Amino acid sequence: MDFETLSFEKVPVTFQENLLEEIADLISKRESIQLVGVPGLGSSLVVKALSQNVAIQKKHFSAKKYAFLRLDGTMLLERNTLNLSRIFLTTLNSSEIPNDPIAVYNRIEDEITTLCRDNFLVLIIDHLRELDFENLKPFFLNLYQLYRRFEPKISFIFVTAAPLTSSSDLANFDMLGQLMLQNIIFTPIFNKSDAFWFIDEKLNQIHFKLGISEREKIFKLSGGFPRTIKRLVESVGRGYKLSELELNPSVDSVLAFHLSEMSENRDLPPIPILEIYLRLKNTRQNSEVFGEVITKWLTRNEEKVFQYLLANKGKIVERNNIIEEVWGDGGIGISDHAYDQIIHRLRGKLLTATPKVEIETIRGRGHCLKVEK
């Protein structure tokens, strides 16, 4: 589930309540806003909910009539002013999209004139960095001219992953850059209520159920970061237990890839499972005692099997010998299926080990642990 698959009409009216209250207060003063949030934090979700959820609009903008329009920078495939202007015209629900540049501008002007006649207009430009190109400057110049014509009935919300403050940051946005500096506010992480709603939305998507304590654990491990919440729910849906993910997030390669990408961003809020991932990664890289590192994130039986294979690394160890050595007299009750499942899980958990480890099956004989030098 990406944010695009959410039903924004069902977003709870209390969603990101404090942030939307701050936005509403500034908009009511006819000011513009630069809304900043790192990728995955949910800034786009906030402005989509604001532009599409009538209940949220009524809660925060009850005193006046407002019209909310959102232009998504990711929709622009060819970087030229005409294409961007035509995309913008579609957000105005125009029944006609001309090809001639002058006709497009006139149509935009007509549509905005109609909207501003009875409403205060809030123009949301989402994914602003996707539009930060010199050849798009004419579009922003035209937009600024329209703003000046209809001021104070137009305000902007500019959504970006990092603050745009320097002259070089703002150069391609012409005079609109001045409006971007009026107010810079930052998207916060989800509180518990928002996180639980988001978890439930994802669970409905994958047709899965979790109890209160498990949802609490996801909220705690994610630190309220939306994209990490999403990845954790997906991991559980793939059959991983939160207890083993907490011990070693790399047990799920998809989650590990997400955390690896996240680790490259220095502007993230604290995310506990990311800190666990980085700590284990650094430990594996720096430790000289390979076995001690690996066993920190294996179950008890997996650790026993691994330690026995490690003690005999490079040698073929028969299945019966492993069972007898690890479980002793209790090995009589260990079925072939149970043993195979332990080997299967152990292989999965060793996929991201450093150095590289492989458990090779020697058909009819047993297993051999190979450790890359």
Computed over every residue of the chain, the mean pLDDT equals 87
Domain boundaries, the chain: 3-186, 202-286, 292-371
Note the pLDDT of residue 352: 67
Residue 250 has pLDDT above 90, yes or no: no
Point out the least confidently predicted range of 3-7, 47-51, 77-81.
3-7
E strand spans, the chain = 33-36, 66-72, 120-126, 154-160, 184-186, 317-318, 357-362, 366-371
Give the CATH number of domain 3-186: 3.40.50.300
**Nearest alpha carbon to residue 341 among 305, 295, 309:** 305
CA atoms within 13 A on the CB side of 76: 26
Distance CA 5, CA 78 (A): 25
The answer on pLDDT for 319 being more than 80 is yes
- For domain 292-371, give its CATH number from 2.170.190.11, 2.60.120.10, 1.10.10.10, 1.20.1250.20: 1.10.10.10
* Interval 82-122: pLDDT, tens: 999 999 999 987 777 888 999 999 999 999 999 999 899 99
**What's the half-sphere exposure (Cβ side, CA atoms, 13 Å) at 302?**
19
Peptide bond into 152 cis (omega under 30): yes
Would the pLDDT of 312 be above 50? yes
Confidence of residue 267 (pLDDT cuts 50, 70, 90): confident
- What are the tens digits of pLDDT across the range 12-30? 999 999 999 999 999 999 9
What confidence score (pLDDT) does residue 2 get?
Answer: 45
Distance CA 182, CA 164 (A): 11
Q: What is the pLDDT of residue 68?
A: 94
Task: Give residue 287's pLDDT.
Answer: 45
Among 139-153, 234-248, 273-287, the range scoring the smallest mean pLDDT is: 273-287
What pLDDT does residue 99 have? 86
Confidence of residue 1 (pLDDT cuts 50, 70, 90): very low
Look at residue 34 in the predicted model and tell me its pLDDT. Answer: 98
What is the distance between the alpha carbons of residues 313 and 306, in angstroms, rounded to a whole number?
Answer: 10
pLDDT tens profile 271-295? 999 999 988 877 655 444 455 455 5
pLDDT in tens, 167-198: 999 999 989 999 999 999 999 999 999 999 99
Q: What pTM was estimated for this model as a whole?
A: 0.75
Tell me what pLDDT residue 288 has. 41
Q: Is the pLDDT of residue 297 over 80?
A: no
Quick one: pLDDT at residue 63? Answer: 64
